[in-house]
């Protein structure tokens, strides 16, 4: 079973053309892959926090999540955005079910360790793959909001890119970040370069040089962090060009691929 985990970024979710969902339907109907959707919702979260006069800030691309912020994050992610994506799927006659990482113990988490205090932000420690596989085997598309829970029942905000990477790694599926850009771009003197392929070392160097910045940092680090001997690549694709997804699955060069490379240590 070929599984494609698609992380839909909050910056593009409300701009995706209906042809994007038509492409998903085509992929499922032709058995080219079994889709899993994970979504973010940053812009809508920012908008509601501003209306409620709740301050928010980011540390290395991760939202500092207080109890107040967490309440808003859950409302937006597990409520309006999740329902909207499920609706688009059902318009295309797809069976889709919306859920958060709390449902069926889908995403178990622990507090993420950082040098700065960022509140209720979690990292995934376990994925209920049996539950997801049962849905996929019955041609049901999981649409997942990245909220998880620890052993005490405390809810956590999970960066959507990190959640998608953890799910892809657990399922052994392909991982595609659906963005509003065509990959990692670098402004050269007289043209804009799209990096077609990056190793972990190359990506980290671009972060160090501040070519990769802001919200692209966790996206890239999630991509390279998901790579292993068993999962050798992840990709960033432009959701405004749905045909790129089919092209990627055919093995064509599109977007930015992050590739696994064995590091040789000399001693």
Residue with tokens 């960022």: 118
d(CA 158, CA 81): 15
Q: Which residues of the chain have pLDDT under 50?
A: 264-267
Look at residue 183 in the predicted model and tell me its pLDDT. 86
At 110, list the tokens: 């622990």
DSSP state of 13: G
pLDDT value at position 89?
96
- Please give the pLDDT value at position 213: 85
pLDDT in the model for residue 134 = 97
Give the closest residue to 128 by CA, choosing from 166, 89, 78, 81. 166
Residue 60 pLDDT: 79
Angle, helices 42-51/67-75, rounded to nearest 10 degrees: 120
The per-residue pLDDT for 254 is: 92
Strands (DSSP E) contained in the chain are 3-8, 34-39, 58-59, 62-63, 96-100, 107-111, 122-127, 141-145, 147-149, 155-157, 174-179, 184-187, 192-195, 197-198, 233-238, 256-259
User: Whole-model pTM?
Assistant: 0.89
pLDDT at position 267 is 38
At residue 263, the pLDDT reads 52
Q: Which fold has domain 3-259?
A: Carbamate kinase (3.40.1160)
Give the tokens for residue 125: 């420690």
């Amino acid at each position: 079973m070929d599984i494609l985990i698609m992380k839909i970024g909050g910056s593009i979710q409300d701009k995706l053309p209906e042809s994007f969902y038509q492409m998903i339907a085509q992929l499922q109907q032709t058995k080219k892959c079994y889709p899993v959707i994970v979504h973010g919702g940053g812009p809508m979260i920012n908008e509601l926090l501003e209306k409620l006069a709740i301050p928010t800030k980011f540390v290395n691309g991760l939202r500092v999540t207080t109890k107040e912020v967490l309440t808003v994050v859950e409302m937006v992610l597990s409520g309006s955005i999740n329902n909207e994506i499920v609706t688009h799927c059902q318009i295309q006659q797809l069976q889709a079910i919306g859920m958060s990482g709390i449902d069926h113990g889908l995403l178990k988490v622990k507090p993420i360790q950082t040098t700065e205090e960022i509140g209720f932000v979690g990292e995934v420690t376990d994925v209920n793959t049996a539950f997801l596989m049962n849905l996929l085997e019955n041609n049901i598309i999981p649409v997942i909001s990245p909220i998880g829970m620890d052993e005490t029942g405390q809810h956590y905000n999970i960066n959507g890119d990190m959640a998608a990477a953890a799910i892809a790694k657990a399922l052994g599926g392909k991982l595609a970040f659906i963005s509003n850009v065509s990959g990692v771009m670098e402004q050269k003197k007289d043209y804009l370069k799209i990096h077609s392929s990056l190793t972990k070392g190359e990506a980290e160097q671009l972060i160090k040089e501040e070519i990769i910045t802001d919200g692209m940092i966790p996206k890239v680090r999630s991509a390279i962090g998901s790579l292993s001997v068993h999962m050798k690549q992840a990709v960033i694709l432009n959701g405004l060009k749905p045909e790129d997804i089919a092209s990627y699955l055919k093995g064509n060069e599109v977007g930015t691929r992050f590739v696994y490379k064995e590091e040789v240590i000399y001693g």
